[in-house]
Chain A
């Protein structure tokens, strides 16, 4: 999905922009990011309820301020009498953890393959670029769905699938940068001076990759959040009773007309989360562009 970022990155390098500091929306996003990550990290401290604890006698109770409100359950209870707030916060935690794990795996796989493709050329590059083409040829959400439907959904398979999502973006970025840098005169100089390929990669290539990769990582994060939510919504991601934001919306959707709070709380968190990460990613990209442009 994040492949849209690629042409944007290219264009932005020539686009003038005035300020480098954060504007008001970006500041709000930063505050939100801190709050969301904090809520995820400290979820067990923020609510007295266990997200898995059922209470069959107080099912489907509405949030505070409505009739039949069950005291203490501020955001209401779900179809098994579990606390919606506790489930949402723990869901946020799981969703964020999965997104990080997925983005890191993608970064490692994509980065390594991109590096190989950039440095080695020849058949290795052809094979890797063919894989990249294949990944682009089929919409990945579809691939992820089919893999999970066929393999059966477990946390391991899910993390694997989230990690595979978007590796090709890293590969393309790394390969491009490696080739660009390889053409620089100072690298020729280093080579003549006897520097080996590993040393070259470490000393000259890596530092130049940091900023585009950070940008890509952030953008990938929000895409993976949406992918994970979509998969879980369709029942192919995180499995019950474990809550993730997407699975809460997915399992709760039958209750939309009768108990909308089961869905609305996690849905709002998904939107906030992706919104925040998108804004931050965009901001980071602008800053990176400025650096690239000034060089």
Chain B
């Protein structure tokens, strides 16, 4: 187990280092931030003064080394735009994004597991087909379409739900649903297939032969075993899917999250914020993946052996 863990950690470290470097290079190649966020109507003298002030006059190599030193000592710099430490800027945005992510994953699991089980158990009847059509449709509706249709219906026309920010639980309803649409579709299909896989195995037949009630067979033996694979897919894939959907959802609902911040930072060329934001997201995703890998390995020694 120890060598396996070590391997995981080294892999994660290499991935993160590569991401830091690629982000640094990509941002510097894309133009001078002075010309984008303070550039309108600057005199040449003023522009030079600002370039020096933000230390953008040094060589790229110098900037890169300085940045790496900063990263290693936990110093990520100040935002070009509002001059606050980027760690503060990103930290205050991570939690709202995290809340939305957790809410979406919770909703997804709560809806997908029962639907997936239903679809598997009734796979030959109309119930199974209906569930799968719903799942396919869910996958086909992009989150931005779902979001704006909901806003129009539930806020604009019906006046039921608030659209701005994350103040109360009512604010969570539409963003969570908008983010979960695609996830529900994906996880339902996955659960169904995992269930079909498990239900076709010998120990289920044995359980049935022992005369256990069908509900018990399906829920305890079936779902119990299928859930291992289901959990792994939640960790590995769903978090990534949700993080991707968050940019759109955050912008439509003025949600003060990381996705919105990153896109704005990219447009404004606020390099320090952009770099740290990407690193923060990458660390989160890599950490989730690693934990899932470990959990999976603990649950199933075959995997540990196969990979080590």
Chain A interface (Cβ < 8 Å from any Cβ of B): 1, 3-4, 7-8, 11-12, 14-16, 18, 23, 25, 130, 133-134, 136-142, 145-147, 149-151, 222, 226, 229-230, 233-234, 246, 249-250, 253, 256-257, 260, 263, 267, 270-275, 278-279, 282
Residues on the B chain within 8 Å of A1, using CB: 241, 244
Interchain CB contact under 8 A, B285 and A139: yes
Interchain CB contact under 8 A, A137 and B285: yes
Q: For the complex of A and B, list the 5 residue pairs with the smallest distance between their C-beta atoms, beginning with the closest.
A: A141-B244, A149-B266, A275-B140, A150-B30, A274-B140
Interchain CB contact under 8 A, A4 and B14: no
B248 within 8 A of A: yes
Q: How far is the CA of A203 from the CA of B274 in the complex (A)?
A: 48
Residues on the B chain within 8 Å of A139, using CB: 240-241, 243-244, 281, 285
- Contact A146-B248, Cβ < 8 Å, known A137-B285, A253-B148, A274-B139: no
Binds A, one of B51-59, B102-110, B129-137, B210-218: B129-137
Interchain CB contact under 8 A, A130 and B14: yes
Closest residue of chain B to A277 (Cβ to Cβ) is: B140
Closest residue of chain B to A147 (Cβ to Cβ) is: B26
Closest residue of chain B to A129 (Cβ to Cβ) is: B11
- Contact A8-B193, Cβ < 8 Å, known A141-B247, A142-B262: yes
Q: How many residues of B contact A (CB 8 A)?
A: 61
Q: How far is the CA of A268 from the CA of B300 in the complex (A)?
A: 44
Interchain CB contact under 8 A, B197 and A275: no
Across chains A and B, the number of contacting residue pairs, with CB separation under 8 Å, is 148
Q: A134-B18, A139-B244, A139-B285 are in contact. List 15 more A-B contacts (CB 8 A).
A: A11-B193, A11-B196, A15-B197, A15-B200, A23-B129, A130-B11, A138-B278, A139-B241, A140-B244, A147-B26, A226-B142, A230-B143, A249-B144, A256-B156, A271-B137
Interchain CB contact under 8 A, A12 and B282: no
Residues on the A chain within 8 Å of B282, using CB: 137-138
